[in-house]
Amino acid sequence: MDGSDEELAAAAADGNREAFAALLTRHYDRLFAFAFRLMGARDQAEDLTQDICAALPGKLRGFRGDARFTTWLYRVAVNAAHDRRRRRATRAKAADGWGDWEVNRQAAMRETREGLDWLTQAMQALPDDLRDTVALILGEEMKQAEAAAVLDVSEGTIAWRMSEVKKRLKALLEKEAEA
C-alpha cells in the first residue's frame, strides 16, 4: 500500500488494517535498530520491539498528525524504553533503595566488564537520558532539532546532553587508561 507515513497513520488510526500493516512493515527494521541502540543488547531490543508492536495499535490513536510519523514513532519507542528500564529498576531495586541498587549495578558491571566490548561499556556508563540522545543523534543521525522533538526537550538540552556525553565518555576512557 502506498502513501506517506502520515496518510497511512491517519488511515490506520481510523481502522484501516491494510494501512497499519504497510506502515508497520515499512518501519519495523528501523524500529528494531533503534530499540537496539536504546537498550544496548539484542535480547532487550527484541523485547522492547515486541512491546512497542503490541502497543502500537492503541497508541496510534494518539498520533495527532502534528509531527512526522517517524518522530512520533521514535517518541513511542523512547517512552517504551523508559517504561522497560523503570520496571527493571523497580525489580532490581533492593529494599534499601536506589543508592544500593546503583552500587550493585556498578559492581556487577565491573565484574562483567571483561566480557563486554567498549561500546557496550560506553553506552552503559551513560544515564538513560543521555543514552536516548546518543541513540537518536549518532545512531539515527538526527539533527538536534529532530531529536529535541522526539524527546520533548529543547534543542539546547540536546546540545548540552551531547557535550555531557563527550565529557563522560572521555572520563571513562581516562579511567580505563589508569586501570
For residue 106, give the C-alpha cell: 556498578
Beta carbon of residue 107, minimum distance to other proteins (angstroms, whole number)? 18
How many CA atoms, within 13 angstroms, populate the side-chain half-sphere of residue 12? 27
Residue from the set 2, 58, 110, 111 that interacts with other proteins by CB under 8 A: 58
Instruction: Indicate whether 100 belongs to the interface with other proteins (CB under 8 A).
Output: no
Residue 84 makes contact with other proteins by CB under 8 A: no
Told to check if 99 binds other proteins by CB under 8 A, we report yes
| CB of 110 closer than 8 Å to CB of 31 | no
162 binds other proteins (CB under 8 A): yes
Alpha helix (H) ranges present in the chain?
5-13, 17-39, 42-59, 69-92, 98-112, 118-124, 128-134, 144-151, 155-178
Query: Residue 68 corresponds to which cell in the numbers above?
Result: 512526522
Which residue, 16, 40, 60, is CA-closest to 127?
Answer: 40
Which of 143, 145, 154, 175 binds other proteins (CB under 8 A)? It is 154
Binding region for other proteins (CB under 8 A):
10, 12-15, 17, 20-21, 24-25, 28-29, 32-33, 36-37, 42, 45-46, 49-50, 53-58, 61-66, 86, 89-90, 97-99, 117-119, 122-123, 134-135, 138-139, 141, 152-154, 156-157, 160, 162, 165-167, 169-170, 173-174, 177
